[in-house]
Amino acid sequence: MKKARKFLIGTTVAAAGVGAVTAISYKLTKKLLNVAMDREMPKGIYENKEKLYGSTEIKNFMAELDAGAEKLLGADCETVEIVSHDGLRLVGHWYNCPSAKRVLVAMHGWRSTWARDFSLISDFWHESGCSVLYAEQRGQGNSDGDYIGFGLLERYDCLDWINWAIEKTEGKLPVYLGGVSMGATTVLMTAGLDLPENVCGIVADCGFTSPHAIWKHVVENNLHMSYNGFRGAIASDLCKKRINMGAGDYSTLDAMQVCPVPVLFIHGTDDRFVPIEMTYENYKHCVAPKDLLVVPGAEHGMSYYLGKEQYEQKIRDFWNKYD
């Protein structure tokens, strides 16, 4: 009887211990998802941003982006609005180019802004004859939305902006999609939708493959915590409760297997936020005409900053081939 009692007590204690660990894991994973997806930035995130990106060297680059953003914000852009497929008010900025040769739909990255992410390349685009629609991604900036969807929802917004740009230019110009980081993932995922005939190509700079893949990489490699099956399942479940899609329900790899337009993939070798292997995966799965630019030594989003000449030449060649 005593042995049975001891066994029962031991079993109860063990179960309580497992329950406590489970509760702690759930709480921590929920906090990470708040950082990833919620519009409102949790306190302390900016203090730890260098840890997420993996390097303090990126500080100088970020300072250049901030300076360039002030210039782009002062450009003669028209602020425009559309209503998304699910009823959100989305804000964009139309930078018209007289005698434009083509239209770009530009999607910025995670917890960033249109003016910041494209501040360095905007002059090149404008001088090259591009009218640009700079979108403000849902859940960020002036656009509506409580959550950031990591491309799962934003791909539909991108399609809405494509249709807006085509109507704006009366369907007379070729349209290209461009994005950086989460914006690159957005435009790549958009390729899995029914694209209008005007869309001629995609330029994707350092995009990840799926929310699940990038969360796993950042948690394990940048935050140095485990992202086992249990935590991954919690994250996917929390994601689904927010946006009605799980973290692994769709990926750029799915889109690339049906992609109907040419894609130029770009990535830096030293990217520790989104590993270059994800771009290699996207390139491998892409069934459309494709090209790849790898910039040695470039960290996350720094390929244009460090490899401006080759970056611009690659894009010129891409336009010349597919306009």
Q: Mind listing the pLDDT tens digit for each residue in 148-184?
A: 999 999 999 999 999 999 999 999 999 999 999 999 9
Note whether 196 and 230 are within 8 A (CB). no
The C-alpha atoms of residue 314 and residue 323 are separated, in whole angstroms, by: 14
Q: Quote the CA–CA distance of 40 and 100 in Å, as a whole number.
A: 38
User: What's the mean pLDDT in 60-72?
Assistant: 91
| Euclidean distance between CA atoms 306 and 257, whole angstroms | 31
Helix, strand, or coil (residue 101) = coil
Residue boundaries of the structural domains of the chain: 38-210+250-322
Total-model pTM: 0.90
* Structural tokens at position 301: 């989003």
Reading the block at residue 227, the tokens are 């992202």
Residues 200-244: pLDDT tens digits? Answer: 999 999 999 999 999 999 999 989 888 877 899 999 999 999 999
**DSSP letter, residue 211:** H
Question: Does 38-210+250-322 carry CATH code 3.20.20.220?
Answer: no
- Predicted local confidence at residue 44, as pLDDT: 60
The pLDDT of residue 24 is 66
Give the pLDDT band of residue 25 (cuts 50, 70, 90).
confident
Other beta carbons within 10 Å of 140 = 21
Average of pLDDT values for 76-96? 97
Confidence (pLDDT) at 13:
39
Averaged confidence pLDDT in the chain:
90
